[in-house]
Amino acid sequence: MKKILISVLVLLISVYSPVGVALAYEYSVLAVGDYEDQYLPNLMFGDANYFDDYLEDELDWETTQYEVEPNPDGTGDDYNPTDRTAIGVSLGDFKDGDNIPQANQSDLLYFMGHGYSDHMVLDDDEVYASDIGSSYDPDTYSSNSAWNMDLEWIILGCCSVANRDDEDGVEWAKTLLGTPCRAHGIYGYMDSSPGTGSDELVAERFFSNACTGDEQSIWSSWINANEDTNNTNWGIIVHKDNRLDHLWGQGDVGSDTEGEPDIYQYQYGDPSEEIFRAVNSNSVTNHVYDLEKSNSVTNNLSCLASYTVKPEELDEDSIVNMFFDDQGELTKRQDSIRNVLLVGSAGSKDEDSDEEDSVINMVHDSKGKQTINNDNNGNILVQESTDSKDEDSNEDSVIDMVYNSEGKLINNKDNNGNLLVQGLAGSRLEINKTSGAVLYSTEFSEGTIDFGTDEAIDKAEQFIQSHGGKPSDAIVSKIRPLEKTFIDVSNDTTGKTETIGYQVEYKRTLNGMMVDGYNGDSIRLRIDKDGVSNYYRLWRDIQGNDDGNIKSNDTERKNIISSEQALDSAKENANKIYTISEEINPTDPELVYFSKSFIHDQQIVEPAWRVKIGDNAYVYVNAYTGEVEEY
């Protein structure tokens, strides 16, 4: 925060220290829910509310603005009426001028609404980079940006703004070059952004990453929150020296940059190899069914069965044994994912433990017994006090694995049984009680990698084998490069693009059709220069016969709708899933079995039409009912 400090005492303390004199940090939330344009559907306020609630109630930040354009399709409490500072969002709220307050008086701005690559959309106005100020002076290395005082971080819950387009990306980068003080970064999406349900989950996981235990940087927190929810259209434009900023009060914050700009844009590139796709898995089936030509189902082969599923029963030893020594004693060791963990023996159990205990028996007290403390968010937190030392380790002062005052390891979980183990560098391991999903993330390296897709697959295979084992039916479905691109503001162009990692994704088939969903059954790994920095595993067990073969619910075999009906349903309802700022033209209908996201308890998988509505964006239409499946 860049305040004019009068006190001599305060002047002696750097405002960029995470500790010291308590300063009042401020935020703005600008949320547009009402749109007149027929192609811009009205929006709900879940993500905007979450930012407002968390910053004010959990972090004690002060509200500069919480201004809204209410959604007339919703109810009066769709936004936080008690926190609202004004009705209506205008261009003046984003920049200095006649509007007081405005975003430049805040440390963080969150915008919720529609957007395009070159502008954000308000109800009756638009916000271009040039409106904020993007005229660049190469002699002073500065622009006329209005974001030139307090504002550090701009987080945009809208489509397309944080992209690397040669023209638009450069223009937005210039808004980070105001004088006397530069804003630090823009965090948003390079294409379609998540819609109702998923957007609030992104906000929730962002703050969980950024503000719990050994916190992740804003950069990693935003990326990991989106990748955990399979919203891989994220995009970031940030000064190199501010890439590892933490939220105020949660860790180090880089000083405002000076001199010649060194700004990069980050996003996933186009799939370098799409090895296995839904259309490949069921093209023969579609031909037999003649589904793409007929609006009516007349052939009995057009009837598809459902299948019964349950949470995966993981081989717990393969997950936790790497953390244990041979003596069954508490041990601290650094594992292959750069996470320092305190663990007990794989054989140590509570007599009355339920099935979760075998997964979390890595957290024991000094006598090998579990101690359980419930936190408000239902997370398991494993931490070590800064007083505990290891002769050959200088990391203990920052190892966020804490014993209680009696030297016993603390074990926290919520009433829902969701587990969280935290370690070094913001590393977080979560086991979701509802679905059995395993999610891991940590701060990750932006160093250029020296390996290609084949080696990325090898690294992924090795990691999966030692973290739950590789399912026999898992198939590599996609490999995507993670890229950073230099933004050359002096020449109004983008410079060299470097690959800094890969996302490797595994899926499977069922009855010749791919199992797929918004964030359903799959295994995803992000592999960077230092190893695996994000891991998502949801692999529900499919009910089988006594002989081990998969068994369908033949008695529930039903007729399915045509692909044309699926396209119509997707066109009408896609904005329930994504925030899309243009006319929707669905394409490429493909039959899959729909797998629900990790937050759901799913017992039956049913066929669905997967319909493409944008780059890396699909809508799933239930093949029995014609209704669009929820996230």
pLDDT tens digit sequence for 55-83: 999 999 999 988 888 866 654 446 666 66
pLDDT of residue 461: 96
Which one is predicted more confidently, 617 or 205?
Answer: 205
pLDDT tens-digit series, residues 405-430: 443 333 345 556 777 776 667 778 78
Q: What percent of the chain has pLDDT over 70?
A: 68
pLDDT of residue 493: 93
pLDDT tens-digit series, residues 204-218: 999 999 997 778 999
> Hey, what are 623's tokens?
């093949």
Lowest mean pLDDT among 72-81, 391-400, 536-545: 391-400
Confidence check: pLDDT of 275 > 90: no
Amino acid residing at 276: F
pLDDT of residue 169: 93
Instruction: DSSP letter for 470, please.
Output: -
pLDDT band at 617 (very low <50, low <70, confident <90, very high): confident
Give the pTM: 0.81
Contacts for 200-206: CB closer than 8 Å, 24+ residues apart? 200/46, 200/47, 200/49, 200/50, 201/229, 201/599, 201/631, 202/47, 202/226, 202/229, 202/231, 203/46, 203/47, 203/50, 203/51, 203/54, 203/157, 204/50, 205/229
Domain boundaries, the chain: 28-35+42-67+103-277, 316-328+400-543, 563-622
Average of per-residue pLDDT across 298-304: 51
- Cα(first)–Cα(last) distance of the chain, in Å? 37
Would you call 210 helix, strand, or coil by DSSP?
helix
Confidence check: pLDDT of 7 > 80: no
Q: What percent of the chain has pLDDT over 90?
A: 48
Amino acid residing at 224: N
pLDDT of residue 357: 38
pLDDT of residue 241: 97
Which one is predicted more confidently, 320 or 539?
Answer: 539
Confidence check: pLDDT of 236 > 80: yes
Which one is predicted more confidently, 327 or 501?
Answer: 501
Q: Are 425 and 443 in contact (CB under 8 A)?
A: yes
User: Tokens 């650094």, residue?
Assistant: 334
Helices 198-211 and 218-228 cross at an angle (nearest 10°) of 140
pLDDT of residue 112: 94
Q: Are 495 and 486 in contact (CB under 8 A)?
A: yes
Would you call 166 helix, strand, or coil by DSSP?
coil
Lowest mean pLDDT among 276-290, 413-427, 547-561, 617-631: 276-290
What CATH code would you report for 316-328+400-543?
Answer: 3.30.310
Q: What is the mean pLDDT of the chain?
A: 76
